[in-house]
Structure 1
Amino acid sequence: MDFFEAQDQAKRKTGKLIFFYLLAVIGIILSIYVVTVFLYRWQLAGFSDTSWINPAWFIVVSAIVLLTITTGTLYRVAQLRKGGSSVAQLLGGRQVESSTKDADERRLMNIVEEMSIASGLPVPEVYILDKEENINAFAAGFGTNDAAVGVTRGALEQLTRDELQGVIAHEFSHIFNGDMRLNIRLIGILNGILVIHIMGMLLMRSVMYSRGGRTRSSSNGKGSGNITIVILVMGLSLIIIGYIGMIFGRMIQSAISRQREYLADAAAVQYTRNPDGLAGALTKIGLKSKGAEINDGHAMEMSHLFFASSFHSALDKLYSTHPPIEKRIKAIKPSMNPEDLRRQEKMKQKFQEQHVSGKKGEPSTGGFAGHAALSPEVILGAIGVLDGNHVENAGNLLNEISDDLKKAAHEPLEAEALMFALLFATSHQKLPDWFNENVDQTISETTKQLLAELSEAPREWFLPLAEISLPILRQLSKEQYQSFRSVLESIIKKSDQENLFAFAIEKLLLRQLDTAFSSRKEPEIRHHHFKTLGHEMSVMLSALSYLSDEDPESAWKAGLKPIENLLPPDASLLSKEECTIEKLDQALDELAASSNPVKKYILRAIIHCIYSDKILSLEEKELTRAISEALDCPIPMGAFG
């Protein structure tokens, strides 16, 4: 299964979740209807005078229950509308500053940044649950743009670097597979059902208070006694129905979650190439009876988000959201017992079928750029995949970047100046007068200093520096961001020549930040085939063709080959004036509204186009990286060799 199939599978799982949710709601409606009719016949009308079937009353009960559950669900989802950061804060998390000097926190940030650069995903916000002494971690969010990764204080202090890396790799797998959006919806659903249980408790409590009042006033008639019994039975029924609904919801939660945990473990081992790291973390959890338990009051409803079970009860075997620790360890580090080896082989096969993979079994069609095994299929297979080599290379790259530049990427004011300096450095510009007039003097001076350092730095550092600046730039105020964005756009527009790196920055950086500072929504899918995308594909492939060292016509034909039977006949190689960066930007906005199968073919055409001359320039890599980000299918820079 590749990245696109994994994303579609996550959407199908959402459909199944909605189906089971509707079954649970129907069950609750029928149960409450039966209870209310029974109480009416028993206490008010007499069993012989009324029928069990009353369509009008069924509609009333249905409306009240649906309104109650929907309100509870929407309330919780709205509470978590900011994505991963909302979940982390609800659990009592503290955001880790990018510039932290604490050794443990710095180690955690380094691991997260390595994983992000290696995978092509935006660097997520990082949180620590300071009050939680047990070992656990989570990933949460609606998508990659608002993702957050959190670890407990116990995980931070008790795990080695290899063990912590294994845990973070496990959480990144959930981000890749689109599990996070499903997980947040599960939280909303469970809260909606929980409201029924809470209403029952409120009814019971109101009766207790009212009985106390009547005792003091010595007024107790038969009619009020009947009403009290009705309310008591109704309250008790709602508590039981709500609790059964919660159990059913937890069963849905566990059914969806358990298998994903096995797959995430297998992915973490693939990413880090170190089964001992993940197994070590699981072993430390297993040494305690409740080694991953979370004390926060939201532990139960959010148990499926965590690395290991955060909540335990007598019914763990029925609806635990995670497989037993022992089985997880055996799955990634089996003994030499033949039965265990067969189990591992079966798990590997299932992992290849159900997890995002690079399709290593596919034959290479010829290498390029000095890499014999590198081919369009290999690059396409790298989308949404963390490879052990990529992680190692990302770590080495971060170590090579000078401390001054990394420090700038982790400080709010300096991060702004760093982005400006990166754009000026790629266009080989000095700081123009208009820039000094439009920014604060401190930012101007810092930009000048960083520009001098970047002029001596390898170009390969530039994009990673922009990527690791994301978390600190998200912490700007809305006014600060608008000012920063305005200056950034001015630098791009006032450049003497079209700057492909500037375009990449705009797509990679501003797209992520716009999500954080505005209510920008994902584009609605409008294109399920190429018949309506002839012009947009012509613009994009033409722009890439002119970057080729071969003649543009050859590059165009190479890009056209994978989709020649899909494009409309009017698609053609355009002139340079017809495929400027501005026109490419407009085309990408439309291409982003395509379905996953269409996006897969779009990226295949792109890769074949830049592959045509067997040489990948840095500009081609950066432009392809930016296009893939705009399509929500990030290709890591490491995939290009």
Structure 2
Amino acid sequence: MNFFEHQDRARRNAVYRILLTTIILLTPAVLVSLFLTTIGVAGWYALLIAGLVIFSLFALCCWYHTRKLRGGGSHIAENLGGTLISLNPQEDDRWLMDIVEEMAIASGSPVPRVYLLNVRGINAFAAGRTPQDSVIGLTYGALAILNREEIQAVVAHLLCKIHNNDMRGDARMTGIYFAIVFLSLFSGYLLLLGLGWAYLVFLGMSRVLRQRKYLADAAAAQFTRNPQSVASALKKIGGYEYGSLIGCKETEEFLQMFFAAPYEDLGKRLVSPHPPLNKRIRRLDPEWDGEYPDVPPLETLMGDDEQAQENRRRWEVLGAVAIAARGLNSTQEDPAQRYQTQATQSMIPYEAWSVAGDPAGAQALIYSLLLCVQPALRARQLTLLQETLDPQVAHFLPGLDAPVRGLDRYLRLSLFDLCVPALKQLPTDQYTVFTHIMRSLVAVDSRSLFGGWALINILDAQVLPKPTIKRRSTLEQQEDNITLLLGILALTGQRSQAQMELAYYRACDVLPFYTAPMKTLKEGASLDALDKPLKGLQQLQPEDKEILMEAVAVCIENDGHITPEEIELARAIAAILDCPMPEGLQTPPVAEDEASPLPA
């Protein structure tokens, strides 16, 4: 599945349908103005007056329903009967919070509060006014029936809605619904055209909302790197006796916020904001045979008796539709990013693992990972830390020196990922100071400049809000920045001048234009010299980003040996571009007997 193509198509189709719906909305204003002009009651400005009246009504209703979100997503979740589980999760809920944190990192979204609905149907929702006050909720049926991969897909779908701020758009759509009902009833007593107009508007708006659903599905497939997991969750809804039913009256006002239709047969209605299940599944799994899995009743999986345990064991095996679709004997290697985030816990020392969840401890751990092995350079770095370090952070540093030294370099990204949830708790000014100290440490050793820059950008992409892209550019327009990027990649990890040039020109062959000879930063360049040109690549079109990441993979894999620095740079580039790592870019296996110290 081409993630970018599906997302771009969904966005483009949504824009077209918004324009069409707007034209339908303006139809009454045009008809009224024509009627008034015909009878001589008003002049040419009748259209403007009628349009202002209709849009004023729409604006008032949208404002009213947006105001209902002022309590944030928590207010909506509590009205639905949700129970908050994310502040102090019990042991039984910890696995769900791990999934939410993983997907939040992958999507670059803040970690939301999580609610549990005591409902048997398989469903979930995202609610809130802004990404900062948004929450997600999952039903008990979803947690009981779906496997871990499928729950990851559902959570990723919800986080995409949060990232795109679809909740506020949903509230505005609801306001338009009420305004249309009022206008249609007012005119319906005089003409049946009023009801027909309302139906056309409902139809147009439903098509807009369906495209947003398709967009969230494609984004979930991107974040999980497994389209089958999204399709599998939808298939289980189709084969489950309770489907996605919620059965709560409060859902009537915000139908769009749910993962699937919360009412029976709602997804089959022509004006439903939820696409039919079969259409969503076929977009993700074109080879689907149309058969839903035979999902066991929820009651047969509950209880502690032997039969219930046997049913759960069988469902854990038979319920993994995504695995069955790939074939029991097939294997699928994980891409580098997924490998790093799921690195073996036993290879990470307990001292490092235990402090990663504390904001001060996480800062100390990252500082320790950036310290050089060479005594002279290390002494300069420690002097910098003594001059600028917060006492709480300094408290953790001595205990991390021995555990971090000699740790396999490939585990550095895993440790950085572990620190992200704690770093998100830092105020903006403290995080700015933290990254400034990181830059100072990296600048001490020119050999680690690129790797340090990569790690800083990986953290920024996961902790800071994503920047707003005001305009888009093509690969040709970014040629200077791209050639600089590929030149840096060719320089990193290669062994000879010939290998560098070969890697560079092979990567250039992927690009649709002739590229200049290889160039890199001048000796003694600072991190700031890297930031501006490479962050300009954020403006690339989605399909161009995919081409660029393919060129990155070709450059890195040229000599058949992938170094830790190359993996870190690739992760940073993917983070800056806001796109996944190439599937073919694999991380070498971590072996204790081949361990290399973290700081080169």
Identify the range of structure 1 (388-397 vs 497-506) with the bigger mean alpha-carbon deviation.
388-397
2:483 matches 1:538: yes
Aligned to 1:292: 246
Going from structure 1 to structure 2, the CA distance change for 1:266 and 1:393 (only over 3 Å counts) comes to same
Letter paired with 2:150:
G
Write the mapping of 1:258-277 to structure 2, written as runs, cut at 5 A.
271=226
Report 1:155-554 matches (<5 A).
Answer: 155=141, 159=144, 163-172=147-156, 181=164, 183-184=166-167, 186-187=169-170, 189-194=172-177, 196=179, 244=199, 247-248=202-203, 251-253=206-208, 255-256=210-211, 271=226, 278=233, 282=237, 286-288=240-242, 291-293=245-247, 297=250, 299-300=251-252, 302-311=254-263, 317-322=269-274, 342-343=289-290, 394-395=341-342, 397-398=344-345, 400-424=347-371, 429=378, 432-495=382-445, 497-515=447-465, 521-530=467-476, 532-554=477-499
Q: Distance in 1 between matches of 2:483 and 2:279?
A: 52
5+ residue gaps, structure 1, are: 42-48, 205-229, 334-339, 346-360, 362-372, 375-381
1:634 to 1:324, Cα distance in 2 relative to 1, 3 A: closer
TM-score, L = length of structure 2: 0.71
**Residue 75 of structure 2 corresponds to residue 125 of structure 1:** no
Q: Which amino acid aligns with 1:55?
A: W
C-alpha displacement at 1:616, in angstroms? 0.8
Amino acid aligned to 2:179:
I
Report the Cα offset of residue 238 of structure 1. Answer: 13
TM-score w.r.t. the length of structure 1 is: 0.67
Residue of structure 1 in register with 2:138 after alignment: 152
**Within 5 A, what are the aligned runs for 1:24-35?**
24-27=24-27, 29-30=29-30
Does structure 1 retain, via aligned residues, the 8 Å contact 2:341–2:417?
no
For the 8 Å contact 1:540–1:579, the answer to whether it is kept is no
CA contact (8 A) 2:126 2:167 kept: no
**Which residue in 2 is equivalent to 1:594?**
540
Asked if structure 2 preserves the Cα contact closer than 8 Å seen for 1:10 and 1:182, the reply is no
Q: Which residue of 2 aligns with 1:220?
A: none
Q: Distance in 2 between matches of 1:130 and 1:163?
A: 16
- Look up the equivalent residue of 1:610 and give its one-letter code: I
Residue 619 of structure 1, CA deviation: 0.8
**Pair 513,619 (structure 1): closer, same or farther in 2 beyond 3 Å:** same
Match of 1:367 in 2: none
Deviation track 1:496-526 (CA, whole Å, cap 9, x = no partner) reads 65343321221111234332xxxx6333335
Give the CA deviation at 1:617. 0.8
Q: Is the 8 A contact 1:139 1:148 kept in 2?
A: yes
Specify whether residues 153 and 74 from structure 1 end up closer, same or farther in structure 2 by C-alpha distance, changes over 3 A only. same
Mapped partners of 2:541, 2:358: distance in 1: 38
Matched-pair contact (CA < 8 Å) for 2:335–2:584:
no
In structure 2, relative to structure 1, the CA distance for the partners of 1:590 and 1:102 (3 Å cut) is: same
| Equivalent position amino acid for 1:521 in 2 | P
**1:217 corresponds to which residue?**
none
SS of the residue 1:292 aligns to: coil
CA distance in 1, matches of 2:584, 2:85: 27
Query: For residues 268 and 489 of structure 1, what CA distance do their matches in structure 2 show?
Result: 29
Q: Aligned equivalents of 1:395 and 1:480: distance in 2? A: 29
Deviation string for 1:204-241 (max 9, x for gaps)? Answer: 9xxxxxxxxxxxxxxxxxxxxxxxxx99989x999979
Which of 68, 80, 90 is residue 102 of structure 1 equivalent to?
Answer: 90
**Could you tell me which amino acid in structure 1 is paired with residue 92 of structure 2?**
D
Q: Counterpart in 2 of 1:369? A: none
CA–CA distance in 1 between the matches of 2:282 and 2:544? 39
CA distance change for structure 1 residues 560 and 67 in 2, over 3 Å: closer, same or farther?
A: farther
In 2, Cα distance between equivalents of 1:425 and 1:513: 25
Residues 189-209 of structure 1: per-residue CA shift (max 9 Å, x gap): 5145146259779xx9xxxxx
Pick closer, same or farther for the CA change 1:391–1:294 going to 2, 3 Å.
Answer: farther
Contact 2:109–2:159 (Cα < 8 Å) also in 1: no
Identical columns (%): 20
Specify the structure having the higher radius of gyration (Cα).
Answer: 1
C-alpha spacing 1:463/1:15, structure 2 compared with 1 (3 Å): same
Match of 1:60 in 2: 49
> Per the alignment, do residues 129 and 200 of structure 1 end up closer, same or farther by CA in structure 2, a change over 3 Å counting?
farther
Q: 1:141 to 1:407 in 2, by over 3 A?
A: farther
Q: Which moves more between the two structures, 557-566 or 581-590?
A: 557-566
* Cα distance in structure 2, aligned partners of 1:593 and 1:325: 34
- Which shifted more, 456-465 or 251-260? 251-260
SS of the residue corresponding to residue 137 of structure 2 reads: strand
Amino acid aligned to 2:439: E
Verify the 8 A CA contact 1:415 1:469 in the aligned structure 2: yes
AA aligned to 2:10 is A
Change (3 A) 1:611 1:95: farther
Provide Cα deviations, 1:256-284, integer angstroms capped at 9, x if missing partner.
36767987999999839789984796379
Amino acid at match of 1:629: A
Partners of 1:539 and 1:264 in 2: how far apart?
29
User: Deviations for 1:134-181, whole angstroms, at most 9, x for unmatched residues?
Assistant: 5422468999x989772335357x516x535413224436768x9963
Letter of the structure 2 residue corresponding to residue 593 of structure 1: Q
Question: Quick one: higher RCO (CA 8 Å, sep 6+), 1 or 2?
Answer: 1
Q: CA separation of 1:456/1:423 partners in 2, compared to 1, >3 Å: closer, same or farther?
A: same
- Note if contact 1:139-1:174 (Cα within 8 Å) is conserved in structure 2: yes
Deviation track 1:40-74 (CA, whole Å, cap 9, x = no partner) reads x9xxxxxxx94588532221111232355357658
C-alpha spacing 1:417/1:70, structure 2 compared with 1 (3 Å): farther
User: Corresponding residue for 2:7?
Assistant: 7
User: Take 2:6 and 2:506, find their aligned partners in 1: how far apart are those partners?
Assistant: 26
CA contact (8 A) 2:472 2:540 kept: yes
Distance in 1, Cα, partners of 2:365 & 2:272: 47
SS in 2 for 1:525: coil
Q: Residue 575 of structure 2: which of 601, 620, 629 is its match?
A: 629
Equivalents in 2 of 1:471, 1:625: separation in Å? 18
Q: From the superposition, tell whether residues 123 and 398 of structure 1 become closer, same or farther in structure 2 (CA, over 3 Å).
A: farther
3-state SS of 2:136 partner: strand
Secondary structure of 1:129 counterpart: strand
In 1, the alpha carbon distance for the partners of 2:441 and 2:524 equals 23
| Separation in structure 2 between the aligned mates of residue 610 and residue 192 of structure 1, nearest angstrom | 51
